[in-house]
Amino acid sequence: MSGAILPGSRVGVLGSGQLGRMFAIAARRMGYRVHTFSPDYDTPTGQVADVEVRGQWDDLDAVREFARNVDVVTFEFENVSSASTAAAAEFAPVRPDGSVLNTTQNRKREKRFLASIGIPVAPFEVVESRDALDAAVARIGRPSVLKSAGFGYDGKGQSKIMADTDLGAAWTGAGGNECVLEAFIHFEREVSVVAARGLDGSFEHFEVVENSHSRHILDVTTAPAIVPDAVRRDAVEITRCIFERLGVVGVLCVEFFLESSGRLLVNELAPRPHNSGHFTFDACVTSQFEQQLRAVCGLPLGSTVQLRPAAMANLLGDLWAQGEPDWESVCTMPDVKLHLYGKAEPRPGRKMGHLTVLADSPGEAARRVVAARERCARGGR
């Protein structure tokens, strides 16, 4: 295939967490070499990569040297600076492009982009000072949610504004910097679509999945989501529109609020493989990680057919509170797939791994994956 970066080539990953780890496993299975760059050592990605480079994000010469030694660069988390991706692009193509990262890593830019292309989002106001917060709350109303514009994930940098909320404390809690105030949405449930766009403009998606959260962290994903056909079509078409207007080459996740009326509102974009797509590693012909590799290397996208209904449950550091979880017990369950990320220190709220179950229906898969996680905890030593 003309212009493709073929197996045997070197793929650079900016970032070194669990997403990079699963990407590296998919890439090495297809015969690629994987290099990873981050400020840390003995990382989830580094443990399975061919080369682990330790460097600071603001050391642009180190980023350039890293990119000089690979054939293409991608990233596994969105808090990589625009300067870093620009430095890498001097020596290797960066996919998705740094402009995609620049838009999606900042809520102000992301919301304004979505609104500018007619994508439905919750009413919002950009808040750039403490004084501006009062006026924004007066326009948006209460309840509402104040979110830091940058570097927020898993509920970090967010504060709910209720009738009795002290706005000064909320401003401080959100970081005291540029924020976005959003109207609070009384949604029925949260769903998402993980998809990929190839270098040739081809588009593939992994259907609509349903997500339940605990403490603002994804808890269980059920795939596929049981939604009306009209909702499914709308979610996929909104996703396709976002990919095309952003010019994405790679994998991106669109997170939605689904209202009881069937209306979808886009909540956030994640320009990389996503926690709600982890089930694809076991349940689909092509996982989201292999799809990311295919897209950034200019290969044809793979089939996203899901072999069976599935559910994924996150394993957080809280599971270790009574000692090491009982992995032997959960491995006696033949339909459970265990994924651990190689993180040495379990902490409350830290994603340490996940379980996936394939079953005859999405509901059965969800029940069984939660039961499997409970077995881990009950058997902890």
Residue pLDDT, tens place only, 17-40 = 999 999 999 999 999 999 999 999
The span from the CA of 367 to the CA of 360, in Å, is 12
Q: Please, are residues 319 and 313 in contact by the beta-carbon 8 Å criterion?
A: no
Kindly tell me if the per-residue pLDDT of 71 is higher than 90: yes
Residue 254 tokens, joined = 């669109």
How does strand 72-75 pair with strand 10-14?
Answer: parallel
**Residue 257 confidence (pLDDT):** 98
Instruction: Show the domains of the chain with their CATH numbers.
Output: 10-94 (3.40.50.20), 123-183 (3.30.1490.20), 189-378 (3.30.470.20)
Question: Coil, strand, or helix at residue 349?
Answer: coil
Going across the sheet that includes 336-340, the strands are 264-270, 250-258, 189-197, 203-214, 217-223, 310-316, 351-358, 336-340
Could you say which DSSP state residue 215 is in? T
pLDDT attached to residue 1: 43
Does position 226 have pLDDT exceeding 50, yes or no?
yes
| pLDDT tens digits for range 231-259 | 999 999 999 999 999 999 999 999 999 99
Q: What is the mean pLDDT of residues 130-145?
A: 95
Is a pLDDT exceeding 80 seen at residue 213? yes
Element (H, E) at 68: helix 60-68
Kindly indicate the confidence band of residue 78, based on its pLDDT and cuts at 50, 70 and 90: confident
Instruction: Report whether pLDDT(153) > 70.
Output: no
pLDDT value at residue 166:
93
356 token code pair: 């996936």
> What's the whole-number average pLDDT of the chain?
95
Residue whose token pair is 């899901």:
306
DSSP 277: G
Please give the share of the chain, as a percent, with pLDDT higher than 70: 97
**Is the confidence at residue 185, as pLDDT, over 60?**
yes
Report d(CA 192, CA 46) in Å as an integer: 29
The whole-number pLDDT of residue 175 equals 81
Mean pLDDT on 289-317 = 98
What is the predicted pLDDT for the residue at 82? 86
**pLDDT higher than 80, residue 116:** yes
What mean pLDDT comes out for the span 214-243?
97
C-beta of residue 58 within 8 angstroms of C-beta of residue 79 = no
Question: Which residue, 91, 33, 35, 24, is CA-closest to 60?
Answer: 91
DSSP letter for each residue of 17-49: SHHHHHHHHHHHHTT-EEEEEES-SS-TTTTTS
Tabulate helix, strand, coil % of the chain (nearest 5): 30, 30, 40
Parallel/antiparallel/unpaired status of strands 264-270 and 250-258: antiparallel
